[in-house]
């Protein structure tokens, strides 16, 4: 089974940023509202995610680390309307198969925390008492220590950390009700407070996408049947290669979806100067039954059951807004 984990790790764990993505998605699935991310040496030495989510009970710790163990899907029918970010039960098993992983957790129902450790192939999980507030910390040391070919494939600390920074930006844009802290080699890199009002929302978009984007972007909100589109788009006239900011989310998941990108580009097509790029932060909410997220292990793509309808809705909502702002 450990070999299978290492193979699966190749799909889920490409680099330090992909570990952070899996860990943070677990924190969000656990209802966390405060997430701390600590990184050392671009993540090759240490990756740590600490959350204040619901925690993992002592007798489930070992299970959380084993393959295909997920607490999020109970039967086949659940697959049709996935609302959690994770559902494969593969991430922790994969990550621990290529690192030294420590999982420390305390659910509100326990007055003490417990810790489980797994190291590479041996996977002899030991459990011992630990100190931790309600929530979970996962520490990943020496990523790829036992797969030297993959370790050599890592880029410089600076490059790996820039991937992490970009990821945290995408995540922070997806959930403004969560506080985020990011450190690298002990230095604070980002601190974002949970948003509670419009001023806070404006501040966060400015912190993440820059002042010029925040100042010129228009807020979009549109609804059709079971679909809702909201977010910010830059009027075509304000778009430039410098103000690049292209983020889209489907039901809170970060996406690089072809269909959405196409609809967005098409809405801008007529109006955009040749050297300019569309800039947007868009959130599409759609009935989970209408979208299949089980397409790709890293979950960047989705499949819409009514692709045409989704495309046309996004296109017309945006082109309406862009035409208005062009006048």
CA-based nearest residue to 166, from 237, 245, 106, 234:
245
Does position 88 interact with ligand ADP (CB under 6 A)? The reply is yes
**271 and 326 Cβ atoms separated by less than 8 Å:** yes
284: DSSP letter: E
**4 and 27 Cβ atoms separated by less than 8 Å:** no
Stretch that binds ligand ADP, among 54-62, 119-127, 152-160, 231-239 (CB under 6 A): 54-62
> Which of 87/224 has CB closer to Mg ion?
87
Does position 123 interact with ligand ADP (CB under 6 A)? The reply is no
Residues paired with residue 215 on neighbouring β-strands, in sequence order: none
Which H or E element spans position 221? strand 218-224
> Which of 26/102 has CB closer to Mg ion?
26
Give whole-number Cα distances, 279 to 224, 247, 268, 326, in Å. Answer: 23, 8, 10, 15
> Which of 26/99 has CB closer to Mg ion?
26
Tell me the torsion sign for CA atoms 34, 38, 43, 48: negative
| Buried/exposed code over 113-138 (b: 16+ C-beta within 10 A; e: otherwise) | bbbbbbbbeebebeeeebebebbbbb
Does position 53 interact with Mg ion (CB under 5 A)? The reply is no
CA-CA distance, 288 to 297, in Å (whole number)?
18
**175 and 252 Cβ atoms separated by less than 8 Å:** yes
Of 16, 86, 120, 231, the one binding ligand ADP (CB under 6 A) is: 86
Does position 26 interact with ligand ADP (CB under 6 A)? The reply is yes
Closest residue by beta carbon to ligand ADP:
86
Question: Cβ of residue 45: shortest distance to ligand ADP, in angstroms?
Answer: 21
Does position 26 interact with Mg ion (CB under 5 A)? The reply is yes
Stretch that binds ligand ADP, among 36-44, 90-98, 213-221, 314-322 (CB under 6 A): 90-98
> Which of 34/222 has CB closer to ligand ADP?
34
Stretch that binds Mg ion, among 23-31, 44-52, 116-124, 144-152 (CB under 5 A): 23-31
> Which of 53/86 has CB closer to Mg ion?
86
3-class secondary structure, 268:
helix
> Which of 27/115 has CB closer to Mg ion?
27
Of 5, 44, 90, 176, the one binding ligand ADP (CB under 6 A) is: 90
Of 13, 17, 37, 91, the one binding ligand ADP (CB under 6 A) is: 91
Does position 231 interact with Mg ion (CB under 5 A)? The reply is no
Q: DSSP E strands: which ranges in the chain?
A: 34-40, 46-51, 100-106, 113-119, 126-130, 135-141, 179-184, 187-192, 218-224, 227-233, 246-250, 253-255, 280-285, 291-292, 303-304
CA-CA distance, 168 to 254, in Å (whole number)?
11
Question: Cβ of residue 122: shortest distance to ligand ADP, in angstroms?
Answer: 18
Does position 224 interact with ligand ADP (CB under 6 A)? The reply is no
Does position 179 interact with Mg ion (CB under 5 A)? The reply is no
Residues that bind ligand ADP (CB under 6 A): 22, 26-27, 30, 51, 53-56, 64, 69-72, 86-93, 136
């Amino acid at each position: 089974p450990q070999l299978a984990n290492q193979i699966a790790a190749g799909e889920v764990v490409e680099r330090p940023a992909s570990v952070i993505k899996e860990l943070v998605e677990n924190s969000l699935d656990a209802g966390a509202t405060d997430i701390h991310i600590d990184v050392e040496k671009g993540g090759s030495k240490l990756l740590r995610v600490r959350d204040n989510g619901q925690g993992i009970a002592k007798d489930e710790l070992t299970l959380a680390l084993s393959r295909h163990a997920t607490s999020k899907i109970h039967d086949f029918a659940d697959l049709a309307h996935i609302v959690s970010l994770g559902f494969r039960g593969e991430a922790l098993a994969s990550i621990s198969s290529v690192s030294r992983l420590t999982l420390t957790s305390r659910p509100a129902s326990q007055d003490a925390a417990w810790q489980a450790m797994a190291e590479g192939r041996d996977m002899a999980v030991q459990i011992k008492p630990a100190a931790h507030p309600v929530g979970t910390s996962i520490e990943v040391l020496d990523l790829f220590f036992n797969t030297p070919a993959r370790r050599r494939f890592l880029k410089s600390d600076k490059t790996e950390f820039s991937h992490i920074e970009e990821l945290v930006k995408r995540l922070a844009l997806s959930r403004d009700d969560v506080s985020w802290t990011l450190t690298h080699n002990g230095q604070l890199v980002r601190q974002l407070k949970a948003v509670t009002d419009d001023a806070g929302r404006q501040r966060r978009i400015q912190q993440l996408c820059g002042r010029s984007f925040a100042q010129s972007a228009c807020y979009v909100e549109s609804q059709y049947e079971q679909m809702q589109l909201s977010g910010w788009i830059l009027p075509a006239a304000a778009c430039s290669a410098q103000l690049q900011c292209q983020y889209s989310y489907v039901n809170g998941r970060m996406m690089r979806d072809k269909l959405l990108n196409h609809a967005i580009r098409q809405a801008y097509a007529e109006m955009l100067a040749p050297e300019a790029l569309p800039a947007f932060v868009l959130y599409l909410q759609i009935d989970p039954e209408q979208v299949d997220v089980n397409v790709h292990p890293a979950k960047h793509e989705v499949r819409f059951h009514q692709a045409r309808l989704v495309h046309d809705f996004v296109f017309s909502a945006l082109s309406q807004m862009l035409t208005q702002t062009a006048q």
